[in-house]
A and B are shown apart, each in its own frame.
Chain A
Amino acid sequence: MTGYIDLTYFDLVLASVLLIINGAISIGLRLGLGRQLGIAAVRMIVQLLMIGLVLKFVFTAASPWLTLLVAVLMVGFAGREIWARQHRRLAGLWGIGIGGSAMMAAGTIVTVIALAGLIQPEPWWSPRYALPLFGMILGNTMTGVSLALDTLHTTVHRERRAIEAQLLLGRNRWAAVMPSTKVALRSGFTPIINSMSATGVVSLPGMMTGQILSGVDPNSAVKYQLLIMFLIGGTTGLGVLGAVFASIWRLTDDRDRLRLDRLVVSGEA
């Protein structure tokens, strides 16, 4: 790790002056953003300092159960986020269960394969590798799954008469919903496709930038970034497909009816 420059807290205070200037401008121009900006900045500082402490503790403890506990908590937060980002969602536990399970299953399978088969740290569940990897995979899958489910439920609700018209012509539930399915899948896949296209040209990914800044050889950083992008792409795809088809299964029944009674609008139930 040659060329690694540790930051002092004084450096950070200096950097935060830029944000404070932004806040001052907002207050001066009465943009009404000062308060929001302030709250977001404080949240970020507290959350990052805390996760730093937590990670340090978990890395030192080196316990598989503690690692698993942190992973489970991450899944819980991400699952809730998927639920919260849907304007129309499935009623009851299905609302959080389908998106959360699809994300968890895809994320777990891919993370375990990457750790045990590709990166192979010792031990394979080593929290220093497992938690950042799982977090990055989970975060991106969460975005894809929540977009896909939000789009699916909005589209199916809007196109209900067209879906029923196809059911009336003797098509089964999967065929009748297919036009909406395609829209939802496209929406879920868009962020990962966009980020793959722009990576390296428009933006250097945050993880790669971090590695390069901390002295890692760019070629080595690029290899890690490619690995991460493949893993994220694979997990997002699996998660989005699983969540969308599971949700269609729940939104229809075995007599090939459209069951919009199982959909609720956020804030109403």
Chain B
Amino acid sequence: MLCVEDLRSAHFGPIDLSVTGGACLGVTGASGAGKSILLRGIVDLDPNSGAVSWNGQSREAMPAPAWRRMVGYVPAETAWWADDVARHFDDLSVVGQLIEAVGLPAAALGWEVARLSSGERQRLGLVRALALDPQVLLLDEPTAPLDAEATSKVEALLKRELAAGKAMILVSHDPEQIARMAQMTVRIVAGRLVDTSEEAT
């Protein structure tokens, strides 16, 4: 179980929430309400305070890079630092399957980053995070630039990850996607959770 207690940073929080393995928590809220700050806080990318743990292992008990390999965060806009796609992966052996699962050809590994469309970037960014096999997935608008067909492929892949016991927090502006993916939803307003409702799937 992912446990977040009293998470706060400047002008944000406190926030308490928990997500069990195999479950998806949907997060909604207006732009600027703090959805991305919540995910950045959990993955410890900004200075923040609070207790965050996965299956009883506190993030402070391990170096930050180890925590981030266990808790994968895919921002709404992915960033790249080398010229071609393949150089962003340490281990290419597992990548081929994932790339096909999100609806891209295996040859995408040889593509130039500068020529990727926003949808290709977004899907390759997701593949990059999933390739490390994290136990928790924090996803910020993972299908925003995608068409319906690519979206359903990504959702199918994410459902397989959930079935494998991973915990997921999904930030989305699309209520239908939240309904398809999430067992619980929360809403963030001005850096705080205002409303929790449990929904049957």
Q: Mark A133-175, 1 if CB is under 8 A from B, else 0.
A: 0000000000000000000000000010111111111111000
B80 within 8 A of A: yes
Residues of A in contact with B, size category:
20 to 34
**If A161-B79, A255-B44, A257-B47 touch, does A168 touch B63 (CB 8 Å cutoff)?**
no
What separation, in Å, do the CA atoms of A167 and B75 have in the docked complex?
12
**Complex contact A164–B79 (CB within 8 A):** yes
Asked whether, in the complex, the Cβ of B79 is within 8 Å of the Cβ of A170, the reply is no
* Interchain CA distance A163-B80 in the complex, whole Å: 9
Closest to B77 in A: A161
In the complex, how many angstroms separate the beta carbon of A87 from the nearest chain B beta carbon? Answer: 22
On whether the beta carbons of A257 and B64 are closer than 8 Å, the reply is yes
Is the beta-carbon distance between B65 and A171 smaller than 8 angstroms? Answer: yes
Tell whether A169 pairs with B128 under 8 Å between CB atoms, given A161-B77, A162-B79, A257-B64: yes
How many positions in chain B have a CB within 8 Å of any CB in the partner chain? 23
Interface segment out of the listed B66-74, B176-184, B190-198: B66-74
Contact of A255 with B64 at beta-carbon distance under 8 Å, contacts A168-B43, A168-B73, A169-B132 already known: yes
Distance A257 CA – B90 CA, assembled complex (angstroms): 21
List chain B residues, Cβ under 8 A from A166.
81
Decide yes or no whether B45 CB sits under 8 A from chain A: yes
A-B contact pairs, 6 of them (CB 8 A): A161-B75, A161-B77, A168-B129, A171-B65, A172-B64, A258-B45
Besides A168-B45, A169-B132, 17 new A-B residue pairs in contact (Cβ under 8 A), listed by A number? A162-B80, A162-B81, A163-B81, A165-B79, A167-B64, A167-B65, A167-B68, A168-B73, A169-B90, A170-B65, A172-B64, A255-B44, A255-B64, A256-B68, A257-B44, A257-B47, A257-B64
